[in-house]
Structure 1
Amino acid sequence: MNFRIALTAAATLALAACGSTEDASTEAEADTVEMPADEALSDVEAMPVEDPQANAEPVAREDMSPSEQAQIQEAGDKAADTAAAAMDAMSEDAGN
């Protein structure tokens, strides 16, 4: 655990040493971000339209074979097992 903290601190200091003294917040002001976007869209005449299918219920696929469904189920089960193992590992680390 102490090794991880030391490694994290060393990486943080190394990254901080590489940074410049310029303030990133001045580079992302409205003048520098919105103005070029407005210029790029100045000749666009079309207005945005609503997609009627955006919130529609997903269409059930009937053309999947049982083996495809089994593969999808197995992949989902493996993902759930991996997530559970990761949560267990995180809780063990937190306890140490």
Structure 2
Amino acid sequence: MIKKTSTLLIAAILGLTTVALAACDSDDGPAEKAGQKMDDAADNASDAVSDAADDASDAIDDATDN
């Protein structure tokens, strides 16, 4: 349960960081495009971690119900 909480906390922090970075001015130079790709990658990683934590939690719940 602690691992799930810490995983979700990390995912939330990554998501908030991504939102904060995305709120910056949108000059579409090469650095901005690279930064946007990094933001997208962080979002995808955050979503994957969150989904994995949910799946693990569901599996644990199913295992302990029997």
TM norm structure 2: 0.49
Q: If the length of structure 1 is used for normalisation, what is the TM-score?
A: 0.34
Higher relative contact order (CA 8 A, sep 6+): 1
- Structure that is richer in helix per residue: 2
Larger-Rg structure: 1
